[in-house]
């Protein structure tokens, strides 16, 4: 549950309160309890079901348990049965579509709601989120700008703006926007605060500032202890430090409750790097089986499945088949990167370069993408370009700073860099 829409929704509805320690029960638990009491007191009114659905969406975000989304959908359906035209329920329907990565229908429904209420900031946020998911960054930018024009400095607009700044490569600008949103977060909204801290930590990590990332994640843990996103973030820091055993332990803790396919794949990779190959093999087998079962659905883990088929299973033909299937649905930078990597694995280097250039043209600064770009460029004999991408990958934690020349040669970069492309 990493969707920005849920944070946008919560911040649009939150009220200020005194800052203190993380409460027990959680904010979502309190909202669910309050909504259930409202339904008991007035079972014929739709508002209680809307509040229950909101609480369940937030509980799903707190826990990564998708069962709460199904329950939220039931509550929304009851609300709409009582009042088919109520706007709040239709907004929650969009958040559910976004959670399920059904970006095209979410965008269509959000735009319909926008025509009804063009000054609703949250609806503009849904448009931005869905457009980002589909890779339509121009539409997303226009929606995010509307949010900030309607209510300058509002936290939801800052969060969407941060997402776009990250994609455009302005990591410090994204961090600034998130920090502004964090300063506005009500102190009782501990999960919202922890989410923002983990997002800022990820930006520090992608900038190569591992100590800064770790500090922010420690703060997130103090605000909302045991948060699965904090554990995932700490594991990424450990992977960047090449402390693979520690990363595996963190991800094992994270996966004790409601693991996602993405978190299971991350654990398998960490186990592989830690030399625990038999454990990793069992996890990869389970991951592949479950991921293939969701391959045709919008809510899938096809990017991880593509990476698995290229990097672990060595089935380039299947990687490319899945990548082309996913590229029909969406054109975001990570999908384009996965397609480029699958093409590379099938020795289709020219098309791989085309797709990778489309991804990098957005401006994204991501070590894994730069590493893929380096490998593709080296196969095309673009030595200087490959070397540059390789350095960018290393600077952003995708490769160790102390990597020696033999490893660079194995990656196919140093040898390509030694020969100018014009002499090929």
Q: Residue 56: which CATH number?
A: 1.25.40.10
How many separate helices (H) and strands (E) can be counted in the chain?
Answer: 24, 0
Mean pLDDT, range 120-148, rounded to an integer? 98
| Calculated CA dihedral for residues 356, 360, 364, 366, nearest 10 degrees | 40
Tell me what pLDDT residue 313 has.
97
CA angle, corner 215, sides to 158 and 224, nearest 5? 70
Does the pLDDT of residue 118 top 80, yes or no? yes
Select from 399, 371, 7, 365 the least CA-distant residue to 202.
365
Average of per-residue pLDDT values in the chain: 91
CB 229 within 8 A of CB 209: no
Tell me what pLDDT residue 117 has.
97
The structural domain count of the chain equals 1
Select from 359, 364, 108, 400 the least CA-distant residue to 242.
400
Tell me what pLDDT residue 100 has.
95
Backbone angles phi, psi at 234, to 5 degrees: -60, -40
Q: What is the pTM of this model?
A: 0.89
DSSP assignment letter at 421: G
Is residue 190 within a helix (H) or strand (E), and if so which, with residue range? helix 190-206
Tell me what pLDDT residue 400 has.
54
CB 255 within 8 A of CB 279: no
- Alpha-carbon distance of 375 to 7, in angstroms, equals 37
pLDDT, tens only, 206-220: 999 999 999 999 999
Question: Does 353 sit behind a cis peptide bond, omega within 30 degrees of 0 on the bond before it?
Answer: no
Tell me what pLDDT residue 4 has.
55
Tell me what pLDDT residue 24 has.
79
Domain that holds residue 106: 1-187
pLDDT, tens only, 372-415: 999 999 999 999 999 999 999 998 878 754 444 434 544 454 44
DSSP letters spanning 291-340: HHHTTTSSS--HHHHHHHHHHTS--HHHHHHHHHHHHHH---HHHHHHHH
Is the Cα torsion angle 17, 226, 72, 262 positive or negative in sign? positive
Mean pLDDT, range 138-144, rounded to an integer? 98
Tell me what pLDDT residue 67 has.
96
- Alpha-carbon distance of 293 to 295, in angstroms, equals 6
- Alpha-carbon distance of 418 to 424, in angstroms, equals 11
pLDDT bucket at 14, cuts 50 / 70 / 90: very low
Mean pLDDT, range 143-165, rounded to an integer? 97
SS3 string, 97-159, reads: HHHCCCHHHHHHHHHHHHHHCCCCHHHHHHHHHHHHHHCCHHHHHHHHHHHHHHCCCCHHHHH
Tell me what pLDDT residue 396 has.
87
Tell me what pLDDT residue 7 has.
52
Q: Is residue 375 part of a domain?
A: no
| Calculated CA dihedral for residues 289, 292, 294, 299, nearest 10 degrees | 110
pLDDT, tens only, 171-193: 999 999 999 999 999 999 999 99
Q: Is residue 38 part of a domain?
A: yes
Q: Is residue 329 part of a domain?
A: no
Tell me what pLDDT residue 3 has.
47
Select from 109, 98, 161 the least CA-distant residue to 133.
98
Mean pLDDT, range 106-124, rounded to an integer? 98
Angle between helices 155-167 and 137-150 in degrees, nearest 10:
150
Q: Is residue 351 part of a domain?
A: no
């Amino acid at each position: 549950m990493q969707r920005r829409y849920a944070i946008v929704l919560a911040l649009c509805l939150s009220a200020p309160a005194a800052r203190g320690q993380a409460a027990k029960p959680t904010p979502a638990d309190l909202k669910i309890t309050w909504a259930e009491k409202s339904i008991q007191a007035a079972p014929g009114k739709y508002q209680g079901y809307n509040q229950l659905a909101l609480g369940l969406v937030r509980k799903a975000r707190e826990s990564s348990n998708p069962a709460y989304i199904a329950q939220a959908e039931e509550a929304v359906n009851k609300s709409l049965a009582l009042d088919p035209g109520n706007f709040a329920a239709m907004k929650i329907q969009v958040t559910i579509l976004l959670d399920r990565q059904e970006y095209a229908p979410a965008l269509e429904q959000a735009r319909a709601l926008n025509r009804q209420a063009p000054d609703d900031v949250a609806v503009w946020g849904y448009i931005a989120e869905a457009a980002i998911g589909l890779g339509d960054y121009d539409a997303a930018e226009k929606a995010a700008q509307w949010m900030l024009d309607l209510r300058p400095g509002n936290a939801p607009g800052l969060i969407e703006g941060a997402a776009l700044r990250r994609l455009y490569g302005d990591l410090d600008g994204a961090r600034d926007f998130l920090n502004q949103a964090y300063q506005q977060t009500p102190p009782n909204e501990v999960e919202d605060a922890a989410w923002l801290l983990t997002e800022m930590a990820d930006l520090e990590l992608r900038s190569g500032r591992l100590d800064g990332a770790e500090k922010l994640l420690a703060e997130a843990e103090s605000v909302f202890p045991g948060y699965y996103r904090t554990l995932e973030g700490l594991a990424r820091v450990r992977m960047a430090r090449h402390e693979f055993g520690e990363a595996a332990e963190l991800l094992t803790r994270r996966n004790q409750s409601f693991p996602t396919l993405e978190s299971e794949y991350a654990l398998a990779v960490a186990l592989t790097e830690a030399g625990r190959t038999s454990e990793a093999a069992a996890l990869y087998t389970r991951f592949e089986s479950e991921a293939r079962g969701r391959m045709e659905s919008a809510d899938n883990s096809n990017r991880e499945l593509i990476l698995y088929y290229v990097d672990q299973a060595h089935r380039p033909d299947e990687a490319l088949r899945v990548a082309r299937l996913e590229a029909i649905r969406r054109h975001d930078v990570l999908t384009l990167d996965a397609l480029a990597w699958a093409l590379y694995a099938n020795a289709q280097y020219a098309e791989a370069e085309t797709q990778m250039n489309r991804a990098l043209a957005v401006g994204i600064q991501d070590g894994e993408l730069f590493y893929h770009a380096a490998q593709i460029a080296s196969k095309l004999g673009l030595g200087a370009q490959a070397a540059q991408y390789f350095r960018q990958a290393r600077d952003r934690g995708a490769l160790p700073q102390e990597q020696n020349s033999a490893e660079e040669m194995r990656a196919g970069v140093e040898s390509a860099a030694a020969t100018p492309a014009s002499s090929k």
